[in-house]
Amino acid sequence: MTLEEYTEGSGKKTNKTYYRRCQGLHKIPSDLQADFAIVELDGNNIKQLEPHVFQNLTQCTQLSLSFNSMRVIHPLAFTGLLSLIQLNISNNVLQHLQPKVFHVVSSLHSLDVSNNKLVELQDHLFEQLRQLKYLVLSGNGIHIIHPAVLSGLFQLNTLDLCKNNIANIQPGSVGDLTSLHRLRLSQNYIKEIAKGSFKGFTNVIHLILDRNLIKNIHFESFNELVALQKLNLHKNSVKSLPEHVFSALYNLTELDISRNVLVEIKANIFSNLARLVTLFLNNNEIKNIHMLSLRGLFSLKFLTLHNNKLATLSWSVFSSGSYIKDPCQSNLVRRLCIGLCPRPL
């Protein structure tokens, strides 16, 4: 079957460098040509990758094998893919990856292994991927990351570990990722953020920790995150924020602590966040906001306080430039002490 037959009826213009087959395959086709730059074999029933099955694809830059039934990838399966930049093996049933399976695709910039059945990753698994920028491991059953697993990823920009079974972030557990900008840990089972959890993450700008089980945060937990711009702690179980917990986050512009169980906002808790623009405090158990709790938030433009248990609220708490999403909504506010009244939302 020719390439034209694969794409016929799809409404797409035939391109000799593009190969797509989305149904009926049980193994990799034998007629893959060297000039194919993009190969998409999603949605088939390919259970395993034999050695050297892509050896002719020396010009291939994108290979996608998602939504198959892959259980096994031979360590030499990707031999020959000398130009590969993007590899997608997501949505399969992989339980194990051979230690050297990615060593032959050192040109990779993007690797997606999400939504498989992985529980543990071998040390040095990605060691040869020194140009890798995006690594997606979400939707597996990974419970721990050893430092050696991510060794060699000097260019890694984004690491996605959402929807796994990670319960602890040990200091140094994700290796020496000096180029990392985005770390996503949503929907795991993290209960505590300990001191040193993010040691060495001086270039991270987005840290996503929503939908975990976090109760305790050490007051020095975020001290290494000096470049952080966005911190998401939405939907955890945080009851109290330690004094100075955000003191090193001078560059933070967005902070989401909504849907926790915060009871009060203490004085000066945000005092060093002069660049903060957006603050989400809605859907907590907040009964009291100290008059000095929002002190220093000179750039604040949007603040949510709805669905708390506030009984008294002083406008003098807020910056005159802040937009506040109806602070009385679903609160117990009976008295507003008028001070510096914010502009309406």
Residues in contact with 88: Cβ distance below 8 Å, sequence separation at least 6, in sequence order:
42, 63, 64, 65, 66, 112
- Give the pTM: 0.89
The answer to whether residue 319 sits within a structural domain is yes
C-alpha 315/C-alpha 54 separation (Å) is: 66
The answer to whether residue 258 sits within a structural domain is no
Q: How many domains does the chain have?
A: 1
- pLDDT per residue, tens digit, the chain (345 aa), is 333 333 322 334 345 588 988 778 999 998 888 899 999 999 999 999 999 999 999 999 999 999 999 999 999 999 999 999 999 999 999 999 999 999 999 999 999 999 999 999 999 999 999 999 999 999 999 999 888 899 999 999 999 999 999 999 877 776 678 999 999 999 999 999 999 999 889 999 999 999 999 999 999 999 999 999 999 999 999 999 999 999 999 999 999 999 999 999 999 999 999 999 999 999 999 998 888 888 899 999 999 999 999 887 666 666 545 556 656 666 765 444 443 334 433
The answer to whether residue 308 sits within a structural domain is yes
| Domain span holding position 316 | 279-345
Q: Is 91 exposed, middle or buried (0-12, 13-18, 19+ CB in 10 A)?
A: buried
The answer to whether residue 321 sits within a structural domain is yes
The answer to whether residue 152 sits within a structural domain is no
The answer to whether residue 13 sits within a structural domain is no
The answer to whether residue 286 sits within a structural domain is yes
Q: How many CB atoms lie within 10 A of CB 120?
A: 15
The answer to whether residue 125 sits within a structural domain is no
C-alpha 286/C-alpha 308 separation (Å) is: 5
C-alpha 27/C-alpha 50 separation (Å) is: 9
